[in-house]
Amino acid sequence: MAKVPVQFTLNGSEKAEFVESGTTLLHALRDKIGDTSPKGGCHQGTCGACSVIIDGELRLSCLTLAETCNGADIKTTAGLAEGGMLHPLQRAFLDAFATQCGFCTPGMIMAAKVLLDRMPNPSREDVVEALSGNVCRCTGYEPIIQAVLTAARANSQNAA
């Protein structure tokens, strides 16, 4: 089958791959480039485990074709920590016991990051709305909501 070239920035690094036309970004990231932080939970856009950030927007990588990402700036949870320092969201997820099996966690953190980038001081309702596309089967969501609110508070204190 004919392959198409794809080139984008992943967590600040230039990446180039040849993929079969129709390959999802999730497949390209995980199986071609080796960033396995986005997870495949449903491959039909309903669970949010594959969430990544493309040009600042939250996207489901299982429903995004790799060939549509040429020139894009893509961020995943694997690239969030800087120089060994956890991002405030990662720290908050740790401290709030917001992970159990961990499978939804990278997608949850992506959704939360897009929220906090736009809205540094979200209400609880804003957090619930922002995470509503991400399924967690273990925690019952409450520790995750608390983690996002805690990270928001930590951010605003750092800014002040």
Applying CB under 8 A, the residues found at the interface with another protein are 20, 30-31, 34-44, 46-47, 49, 76-78, 80-81, 86, 89-90, 93-95, 97, 99, 101-106, 109, 135-138
* Of 124 and 137, CB closest to another protein: 137
Q: Measured from the CB of residue 146, what is the shortest distance to another protein in angstroms? A: 14
Nearest 5 degrees, angle CA 29-CA 133-CA 26? 10
Judged by DSSP in three states, 2 sits in coil
Beta bridge partners of 53: 58, 75
DSSP secondary structure code for residue 18 in this structure: E
Give whichever of 50 and 130 is closer to another protein, judged by the CB atom.
Answer: 50
Residue 31 CB, nearest approach to another protein (Å): 5
| Least distance CB 24 / another protein (angstroms) | 11
Tokens coding 89: 């969201």
DSSP 118: H
Contact yes or no for 45/63 (Cβ under 8 A): yes
* Distance in Å, CB of 160 to another protein, minimum: 25
